[in-house]
Amino acid sequence: MHFLGPILLLAAFPSSISAASLIQQYPALQVDLGYAVYTGAFDASTRLNTWKGIRYAAAPIGPLRWQAPRAPVTNRTVTPAVEFGPICPQNYPSVPNAPFIPGNEDCLFLNVYAPSNAIKQPVLVWIHGGGYGYGDASQDMTEIIAANNNGFVVVALQYRLGAFGFLSSAEVKSKGVVNAGLLDQDYALKWVQKNIHLFGGDSCSVTIAGNSAGAGSVMYHALTNGGTSGTALFQNAIVSSPYLPVQNNYDATFPTQRFYDFSVAAGCPSSGSVFDCLLSKDSMTLQQASSQISTTQTYGTWAFLPVTDGTFIKQLPSKQLLAKKVNGKRILVGSNANEGALFVPPTISTEADLVAWLHLEFPNVSDGDVAKILAAYPSSSGPVNPNDPMFATTGLGPATALNVSQVATGQQQRGNNIYAEATFVCPSYWLASAYTGNGRTAYKYQYSVPFGGHTDDLPAVFGPAQPNHSDSFVAAFRSIWGKFITTSNPSISAALASGGQPTTSSAPNPVTKFPAWTASSPQQINLNITGGTPYTTVTMFGATVTQFQEPGLKNAFSVANANTWEGGRGARCDFWRTIAGKVPM
């Protein structure tokens, strides 16, 4: 969930080749969806066919605002599918200098990338992140496909965001739908089942994937309908840093108050029935209102989020995952070493500061609950010494993420780690555990390449790789994802795992036989690097950190007990379950 806009942009075609000439040269790329006909393009450099801006649902405008997605209006005119569809209205969280970026409510489009020789290939469906408030489907998929020998088809989708996708109250539910953005995603997954064979994909071999709120979305599809959907829409899931903020009931105080705040900002009443008034407002008025409310929340949070609605999302994730009521068969779960620093105000120096922030971040918990949180995350109660050294921990101790990282120590790091574990890491543990037994399989990794901040792994997956990503690390990481997509097992070759470097160990590299996460042995692979040349860089939240680049980088992959990791992370995740109903999460 980058605060500064979409993470990566797509270069659609080689500059020397026009989209029109590609269409004329490859008329066989015409796809008839029944309701529409699209013509794609072929890129000779990647050997990929692409179709961009395919409409998968009717424009959710006018009377279709805050309604479930509907079938597109039939349009039999042949449409060149060479440009991305317009982005949805964007909302940023409460951070300094949050921008207002207008979008288009008519934004339910998806993009398809298919190898030119694709016949019943496995399918990856990518759901973008962005706090359920911003982002789009422009992520370039060519590098990860190429890294896996053009072995699968990719679909990247857009969905309604902010107040347009996640407005919630009793009135919204009675006159429309809540969780509209999740319903858009569900509709797109059904589109894949119906149509992906036309692009060379296999509807019986679908992996859904996402990062941050995209991974949170994947989690919700694993939970939808109480986990009774089985493999109707997907078989596998990849969740990278699954974002689980507070999840209120649809008619709880928090979403209802945001509903009325949004109403007032749009020029409608502050109480009573306001739904029809909101329907009458023009798009830009609503976009500005949505942005205004989102950017005035607690630091690093969004105003409009998924809710428990009793139908699509029936329970809190913490409860349903414990019961192992999930859809799909297999899951690959990842989290990063420093997930929390981006979202915690950098002003926590005393325990009193920490307590005040905890009450803002988790307003439903009591003083007694806060005391329990502090006990679960022990630290000195004294002020932070600005001269304390900051460094990356190994995960194995004695120094742990409880008290130190590359960007913080003391109470600040305590807050960073609390947020990281409550919001991203523990949901990843719970997801892995939910896919143990009952014929299901789970795999877990941690991305620890310094700095290992939230979303820092994405350039290694999709490109362009950053200086701290060696070619050998990128090749191995992309193969881990690719093998899971194509074979349902993330194990990779010894040559890729070692990066072609000689090894002094007689034991095989653990990623050549990627261990499954089990209840009795919750193992994770730690994906890191060693060696290299140090350089400094500035994080998106302004901290200066040391990273390492070529020459000299080597892959450092190891297996670790996830429960004892970072001073007992498993026990802390168990603790969060004890107060999850109050958070709620």
| Alpha carbon distance 401, 150 (integer Å) | 39
User: Taking all residues of the chain, what is their mean pLDDT, rounded to a whole number?
Assistant: 93
> What tokens were used for 230?
């089985």
Helix axes 253-265, 283-294, angle to 10 degrees: 130
For residue 439, the number of C-alpha atoms closer than 13 Å in the C-beta half-sphere is 8
Cα 163 to Cα 363, 402, 501, distances in angstroms: 21, 36, 51
| Alpha carbon distance 18, 13 (integer Å) | 8
Dihedral through CA 500, CA 502, CA 506, CA 511, nearest 10? -20
Q: Strand order in 75-80's β-sheet?
A: 30-32, 36-39, 75-80
507 has pLDDT over 80: no
With vertex at residue 178, the alpha carbon angle to CA 176 and CA 182, rounded to the nearest 5 degrees, is 120
- Active-site option among 105, 171, 339, 421: 339
Listed in order, the ranges of the chain carrying CATH 3.40.50.1820 are: 19-90+102-328
Residue 383's pLDDT band (boundaries 50, 70, 90)?
Answer: low
Q: Provide mean pLDDT across the span 496-525.
A: 90
| Alpha carbon distance 123, 120 (integer Å) | 9
Could you tell me which residues come within 8 angstroms of residue 28 by beta carbon, excluding any fewer than 6 positions away? none
102 has pLDDT over 90: yes
> What tokens were used for 296?
């005035």
| Alpha carbon distance 211, 335 (integer Å) | 9
Residue 3's pLDDT band (boundaries 50, 70, 90)?
Answer: very low
pLDDT of residue 9: 28
Residue 269's pLDDT band (boundaries 50, 70, 90)?
Answer: very high
- DSSP for 247-259, written as a single string: --BTTSHHHHHHH
| Alpha carbon distance 307, 314 (integer Å) | 9
For the stretch 12-49, pLDDT in tens is 333 333 444 444 345 569 999 999 999 999 999 999 99
| Alpha carbon distance 473, 449 (integer Å) | 10
For the stretch 399-418, pLDDT in tens is 999 999 999 999 999 999 99
For the stretch 273-329, pLDDT in tens is 999 999 999 999 999 999 999 999 999 999 999 999 999 999 999 999 999 999 999
For residue 237, the SS3 value is strand
| Alpha carbon distance 557, 559 (integer Å) | 7
- List the end-to-end C-alpha distance of the chain, in Å, as a whole number: 19
For residue 123, the SS3 value is strand
- Residue matched to tokens 């089985």: 230
By mean pLDDT, which of 63-77, 212-226, 397-411, 423-437 is the weakest? Answer: 397-411
> What tokens were used for 143?
């590098």
Residue 503's pLDDT band (boundaries 50, 70, 90)?
Answer: low
Strands 544-549, 533-538: parallel, antiparallel or unpaired by DSSP? antiparallel
φ, ψ at 554 (rounded to 5°) = -135, 145
The full length of the chain comes to: 585
433 is catalytic: no
- The reply to whether CATH 3.40.50.300 applies to domain 19-90+102-328 is no
pLDDT of residue 172: 99
What one-character DSSP code corresponds to residue 26? -
- Active-site option among 138, 212, 217, 291: 212
339 is catalytic: yes
Residue 522's pLDDT band (boundaries 50, 70, 90)?
Answer: very high
Residue 541's pLDDT band (boundaries 50, 70, 90)?
Answer: confident
Residue 1's pLDDT band (boundaries 50, 70, 90)?
Answer: very low
| Alpha carbon distance 554, 536 (integer Å) | 19
- Residue matched to tokens 């509807």: 203
Is residue 4 a contact partner of residue 540, using CB atoms and an 8 Å limit? yes
Is residue 154 a contact partner of residue 461, using CB atoms and an 8 Å limit? no
Residue 8's pLDDT band (boundaries 50, 70, 90)?
Answer: very low
- Residue matched to tokens 């991974």: 215
Could you tell me which residues come within 8 angstroms of residue 411 by beta carbon, excluding any fewer than 6 positions away? 348, 349, 350, 351, 353, 354, 379, 383, 384
Q: Provide mean pLDDT across the span 417-434.
A: 99
246 has pLDDT over 50: yes
- Residue 211, strand partner residues: 240
Is residue 500 a contact partner of residue 548, using CB atoms and an 8 Å limit? no
Tell me which amino acid residue 501 is. Q
457 has pLDDT over 90: yes
Which is more confidently placed, 380 or 68? 68
375 has pLDDT over 80: yes
> What tokens were used for 298?
């607690």
262 has pLDDT over 90: yes
